[in-house]
Structures are given as C-alpha cells and as structure tokens.
Chain A
C-alpha cells in the first residue's frame, strides 16, 4: 500500500492524546473516607474491573477512530503490482557447448554464482548452468521472445540477455519494453570471414554459382561459372566448390556443408501485354528480365503485344488475363490503376509487403498455368519497388522457382553488432502508477463515522 499524502501519517502522534487522558482519569474521582464499605466490598472489585474494562474499550474505540481518520486523510492506495524480478536469459546456442560454459568469463560467472538461469526460448524454462543441456533452440526472434518475457514480468523488472558473439543480429522491429533489458555477448568470436553458396544458376552447358562472402566489414557476392560435368561425373574445377550428379538429370553444387540443387533454366519467351499507358511499366519489366537473363546467361526473348500471346511468360499490365485465350503458362498481373504504393520486404527478403504487412505478390493456380498477381504497378511513378534491388531478384526468383535461395546471407552474417544497438527502448520502469482508490478512502471515513457514533453512545451510557 502506498500513500498519496503521507504527511498526514504524522497524525498518528495524536493517538497519544486519548491515552494520556485515559491514564489521567484512571483514578476514579475523589477519595472519600467512609465508615464502612461492607455493602460494596463483596463484589466491588469485579465491578471496578468492569468499569476499567469498559473504559479500555472506549479508549480502544477512540484510538481506532483516530487511526482510521489519519489513514483516510493520508489517501491510501492499493498497489497490486508484484515486486520487480530479475531474469537472466541465455541463448540456447551457448548452452550446447560445455567448453563455452567454462571458458567464457560471463557464462562461467553465471555458472558459479547463479543457481539457475532461464533459456531464451519458449516458456523460458529454468536450467542450472552447472549441468548444461542441449536444447531444441527457438525459431522465434529475439524481440518476440523478449516481448513475451516482458509481459510475464511485473513493471520495473530487469532482463539480462546473453547472446552468442557468433550470431546473427535479431530481425524485426525493436520493441519498447517495460522491463530494463541489457544484452551481453558471450561465447567464441565469429570467424574473420565465411563463404557460402548463395545461389546456383545453370544454363544448357554451364552453371553459375553465386557465392556469398561474409566478413566483419560486410557481405559480398561473387559469381563463379563452371561447366556442367558430363552425366554421371563430378566436377571440382573450383575446389572447394564441386558439382556432383544427383538423380537422373540433376546436379548438386557443394561448398563445404552447403549444397544446392541445380536446375537448368531453359530459354524463355516473355510477352508483355500492355497499352501505351503502361509503357514505363513494360520498360522496367523488360529491364528486370533482361538483367536476370544476362546475369545467368539464359536466352531470353522479349516481345510486346497488345493482346494475349503465346509465350512462356505473359505479363498483363493494366488488365486481367482471365479473358485471354492464350495457352496456359506463367502469368504475371499488376494491380493497375494509379494508386501509389509503398512496399517493403518481408523479414526473409523474399516477398514484398505493403504498409500493413500484407504480401504484395500472391500466387494462384487457376487450373491452367501459374498466375502471379502483384498488388502495385511496375512503374516508379506509382511506387519505388521497381527501383530497389529486390525487384530484379524477385523476377529472378519467380523465373527460376524455389531453387534459388535469396534468404541465405543471414545465417552466415559474421558482422559484429554493437549490443548498444540491440538495447530495446524501455518505458517507465514503474510500468504504471497505481490508481488512487477513492472507494478505500470513503470506506475509511465511513468506518470512522460509524465507530464515532458507537463511542458517543457508550460514553453517554457511562456518564449516566
């Protein structure tokens, strides 16, 4: 309980007044010398005791009335919040290696001085660092887990998060939390650099591998083109890269522990259907398809038409493809219209999103072919998506299908992230202020009033 006007609590000193009055009046009246008390001595003592007891009840009643008044004037407030807690959340990756637990100073300190810590995963189970365990890990992002932890803790709590140094920065928007969060890094430092297979593109006789190279300064890509090996044989021209056969007609590119299946990209005929109002749209689309073809050495035929045409890809600008009698293939429609569109990429960088987080690209299988529908226009006058590097990457992805991974870099990102950048904003440590309880104040006043009436009645009876 807290008090909004605590100065009134000094009024408890006034409780001494009725006590002093009671003590002063304990000697009942004057002393009179009389001849005999024989008619009173038989039961006088119990009666006198009753008299004193009744006075004690009156005294207690008066003290309670004064105490209730003082409490009411001090404006008590019931604070229902729990006391603040302190959590230590350790990334499950750090708990999988016992060597890390003993070598890292922070983890070793936690192991020796803390009886239990919590794992940074669903439900935040507690574990003793003295007996490490391999956990299943969590697919949820750091911010999501912290948001959940914050809701479980009372305001003013503190959370210390221990993340591996060798790790990817958390994705998604940084939340505002009521708890005070500090992020510490532990475990081995990331390597100076790492290389991974980003994407693999194959043409009729060669394969182009896009390598991702991560270093502390950033991430870069490099393309390596290799000849496809003869059927049934492997190629190791650019060791440690290698291409090995898989299945009847497929190959697999291997780099260390990374492996990607290779699919041949055949020559494609792309037809763009649009009127004169969509000239710019057609031009940007043509550029995106042309860049993809050039990057991966894929023969491409681009045509412009006013109506439906037979092609591997038909792109309908400003109109629906439903009425087309053209053969089924891959169709791409835009939303048409003139509404500006602001797009962003999803967390994995694969799908564009509108301001409300809704995907701008949808895929349907209407019975014949594949239909992609884009929620905007491919014209920078109506949205800047076509100016972003994600646009040609999206076109390439759609063209090549799911065989191309465009979300790989994150797990190989070795850039060091300053923990300061990870610290989420904290709202007021208090979280919320207790609401003044007018009801409690009124109840105290009413109780004092009722007891006062009782006291007056008792005092009147006593004086008679």
Chain B
C-alpha cells in the first residue's frame, strides 16, 4: 500500500476529489486503460495466456514454480495484459514559475503533477517526469511500479524553479525517447521569451503525443490586482517596471485576454487540450472539473 503521507505534494483532499476519475486518453490508440485499455501484447497481466521458456533477464516472479516442480524446467507465464498509456508530465521549472501568490505557481504545478502521477500509477500507466530547468531538461523516463513512483515524487520534491526554457533541440531527444506515444501534460505559465514553449507543444503534437496544456497563472498576472504603486521585477531577466496599477489595469487586462484567445485558437488548431488554472482556486475542484470533462469527451469519442 502506498504511504501517501511520505509524499509532500499529495494533497489528500485533492486525491479524494479525483481518485474516482480516470485519466483517460481522448483517443484510445493502443488499447484501453487498466480495465479500459486492453492490449494484444503478451506480458505480465491478470489472465493467463501461455508459457514460454525462461530467458535471462525475465522477471523471476513470472516463473511458474508449480510447473518447475513438475518439470524441473523454468517456464515463464505470459498473460493477456491491458496496454496502459504513458503519462509524461512536463513541469515548467523555469524562473517565472517561482512567482508566488500565497503559493508559487511551481508548487501548484507540483501538486498537479503528483496527483496525476498517482492517478496514473493506480491505473497501471507509466509515468515520466520532465522538467525544463536552467536551460536544460531534467528527465525521469516513463516507468511503472512503486519504486518508480517513489523516484518520481522525490524528483518532484528536489526541483527548484530557475533559469529559462531550453530550446527544442536540447529537449527533443529526451521527450522523444520512451517510444510509447501517450499523454503529455504540460504544466507551465507559458511565459516564454520567444515561442520555445509553444514550439515544444507543437513538436510533441507532431510526435503524435496527446498534449494537455495546463496554463498556470496568478490572479495578479491576470488582472494586475495590486493595491497602489508597485515595482514589478521579472524573475528570469531582472527587468523592473514601476507602475501605477490603476492606470495600467485596463490595457493590461485587454492584452492578457488577447493573448488568451490567441493561445486557445492556436492550441485548438493543434488539437491540444488547453485549460487555464488560477492558482488561488482550489486544486481539487479544478482537476475534477478537468478530468470530468475529459471523460465526457472520451466517452463521446
């Protein structure tokens, strides 16, 4: 039994809210989920399919000891297993994610990542963690099992947001590795100097990943809700601008909304699921809403 108390970014309330919801792929490409993605690939599973001779490197737990007692030979059980999806979680660990509004965007993203990872782990899906950080990509390749989950959580905990998003060329290899297509969830504030994040998303789509973009934002980032004059310092560049929010608010909100519409249009054209989460909203509600919508859409598909 997984001891969730050991994981810092597992919020029991959030888990309770989403534990009954599956993380479904919009299009079942490889099969159906655990109980939902049946697969024709032989391997470890629940229903017996056939025996084969033991080969070096096979999991000893799959050795049928009863048959060994009867035959004095090592045979491995093969079952018809469900093909689960590979969940890749890209957690933006660049400097801009350190923006804090009671909780930092980065911590909020880690909560989401942990929750989704646990959900996927329960479904038997493989989970991988990718963190653009300080111009590089820290990657934990997809894997299954409790030990992998543990490694996932620990990696999540040690991350610290800093630096900038690396160019696609530096992260392509890591993201393309693993082979299995699957669902890639990008947790980011989408603050980019050029279009490096959107380029990565489009590349992932081209690699036939199903991409979900969770756009994280603080309330102040959306409506400049500062009281009185304030000096804003951009974390990644250090630039400072002194403003009177009352004077700038109207134009600022209009610019944010324009950008929002542009993102929706762009991601919509690429069939990328896009959701904006404001980090002052309860995470459980936000995730439940999102997953419910995906289930309805998947069921409709």
Which residues of A are at the interface with B, using a C-beta cutoff of 8 A?
27-41, 44-45, 47-48, 51, 462, 464
Contacts and interface: CB of A to CB of B under 8 A. Distances in A.
B96 A39 contact: no
A40 B241 contact: yes
Contacts of B229: 28-29, 51
Interface stretch (B10-18, B140-148, B231-239, B262-270): B231-239
B230 interface: yes
5 contacts: A29-B242, A32-B220, A35-B234, A48-B241, A51-B229
A36 B234 contact: yes
Given A28-B231, A30-B230, A35 B221 contact: yes
Nearest to A464: B246
Q: Counting chain B CB atoms within 10 Å of each CB, which of A28, A34, A40 scores highest?
A: A34
B242 A37 contact: no
Q: For the complex, would chain A's binding face be called helix, strand, loop or mixed by DSSP majority?
A: mixed
Contact of B231 (A27, A39, A45, A47): A27
Contacts of B209: none
A33 B244 contact: no
Interface residues of B, number: 34
Contacts of B32: none
Interface string B96-133: 11111000010000000000000000000000000000
Contact of A31 (B99, B105, B231, B259): B231
Contact of B252 (A29, A31, A40): A40
B68 interface: no
A39 B252 contact: yes
Interface string B248-288: 10001001100100000000000000000000000000000
A45 to B, nearest CB: 7
Nearest to B228: A29
B191 interface: yes
Contact of A35 (B97, B226, B242): B97
Contacts of B218: 35
B88 to A, nearest CB: 23
B230 A35 contact: no
Q: Which 5 pairs, one residue from A and one from B, show the smallest C-beta to C-beta distance?
A: A35-B96, A28-B229, A44-B241, A29-B229, A36-B191
A249 B228 CA distance: 120
Contacts of A51: 229, 242-244, 247
B221 to A, nearest CB: 6
B232 A32 contact: yes
A36 B217 CA distance: 11
Interface string B179-205: 000000000010100000000000000
A36 B230 contact: no
Interface of B: 96-100, 105, 189, 191, 218, 220-221, 226, 228-236, 239-244, 246-248, 252, 255-256, 259
Contacts of B105: 35
Given A39-B256, A40-B248, A47-B248, A31 B241 contact: no
Contact of B233 (A32, A44, A45): A32
A35 B99 contact: yes
Q: Counting chain A CB atoms within 10 Å of each CB, which of B191, B242, B248 scores highest?
A: B242
Contacts of A40: 232, 241, 243, 248, 252
Contacts of B242: 28-29, 44, 48, 51
A38 B237 CA distance: 11
A22 to B, nearest CB: 13
B116 to A, nearest CB: 22
A35 B243 contact: no
A31 B235 contact: no
A30 B189 contact: no
B221 A34 contact: yes
Contacts of A37: 232, 234, 239, 241
Contact of A30 (B97, B231, B243, B246): B231
Contact of B235 (A29, A33, A38, A41): A33
Contacts of A29: 226, 228-231, 242
Nearest to A31: B231
A42 to B, nearest CB: 9
Contacts of A32: 220, 226, 230-233
B160 to A, nearest CB: 15
Contacts of A35: 96-99, 105, 189, 191, 218, 221, 234-236
